[in-house]
Structure 1
Amino acid sequence: MTKGLKIIFAAASFALAGSAFAETLAPDDVEIVDMEVTASLTGKPGDATIGRETFADRKKGNCLACHVNADLSDQLFHGEVGPPLDGVGDRWTAQELRAIVIDSKEVFGEQTIMPGFYTMNVGINVAEKHKGQTILSAQDVEDVVAYLTTLSE
């Protein structure tokens, strides 16, 4: 299956999975159970193409600061702190990836340096202008998860 078809398939899968929900789930209302968040945060499908952009965006997801990703080999300065994300869509389910992106410390423990991207549990040294905000929006999370599910080996 080509990368384009995988992205279209992922978007269609999320459209079907999220169609039963109408409202965005607030960060404090997200429940991670057994390392999964089963429901879409928005009730809208994630867009893998937008998720790819968010993943690479140094001012948003900034995932490349810590992770190598061959799909974005045209981007400079891939980090090596986190595990390579090549094949991550084969290793984790969308529900597990959603939980990891939302609050990695809840999934992996406090020792992980990966931030929670949709949680208010962000620690004590937060710049005043960022207090009370999540790093990503709920839709950004769904888009990044849709993108991550397309990364197969």
Structure 2
Amino acid sequence: MNRHVAWAALAATFAASAAFAAETAPMDVKFTDAGEVTDSLTGQPGDPAKGAEVAATKSLGNCVACHVVSALDAAFQGNIGPELNGAADRWSEAQLRGIVVDAKHTFEGSVMPSMYKTGPFIRPGDGYTGKAATGDLAPILNAQQVEDVVAFLMTLKEE
């Protein structure tokens, strides 16, 4: 019996390692000419409930700081970016993934922060304070959080 438990644990470890190995690093994300990211960053489906949490949480994605999302119960919702109600009717999953990863590939001049990017960045702090961060920065969201946000956005249909 212990041998079976050991083999099951070993199989689970390999499966977890394979899933982790499948994650696309920020600098390895492939965009189409239209700014789409057709391949999942994790190989795992996103969780819409977790994506909603990321979108509404200030310390995570904080999408509601710039976008109206009626499906979220957030006290303040911004009006800088486009309304996300009906996002799944306006954009495909690949388009939404590309926008969340780095909107500048889709909308030149966008002020939306790149959620899954580590560099290169323009660092105006050097010109003003001389204290801009050096080297690559951590992405705002990890790969699974991006997939979760995309899954949530895919639930936002016109009523």
Aligned to 2:144: 139
Quote the residue 2:37 is aligned against: 37
Q: Deviations over 1:2-35 (max 9, x none)?
A: xxxxxxxxxxxxxxxxxx9951000110011032
Q: What runs of 5+ residues in structure 2 fail to find an aligned partner?
A: 1-18, 126-131
Deviation by residue 1:42-73 (Cα, 9 ceiling, x = unmatched): 0111001100000001111010000001101x
Aligned to 1:95: 94
The alpha carbon displacement at 1:120 in A equals: 2.1
User: TM-score if structure 1 supplies the norm length?
Assistant: 0.79
Q: Residue 79 in 1 paired to residue 84 in 2? A: no
Question: Aligned residues: percent identity?
Answer: 48
Q: Which structure has the larger Rg over C-alpha atoms?
A: 2
Does the 8 A contact of 1:21 with 1:43 survive in 2? no
Question: Is the CA contact (8 Å cut-off) linking 1:51 and 1:147 kept in structure 2?
Answer: yes
CA 1:95–1:138 in 2, change beyond 3 Å: closer, same or farther? same
TM-score for both structures, normalised by structure 2: 0.77
The farther-off stretch of 82-91 and 119-128 is: 119-128
* Gaps in structure 1 of 5+ consecutive residues: 1-19
Aligned residues: 132
Aligned to 2:156: 151
CA distance in 2, matches of 1:129, 1:141: 25
Aligned-residue CA RMSD in angstroms? Answer: 2.1
3-state SS, counterpart of residue 114 of structure 1: coil
Q: One-letter code of the match for 1:135? A: I
User: Corresponding residue for 2:58?
Assistant: 58
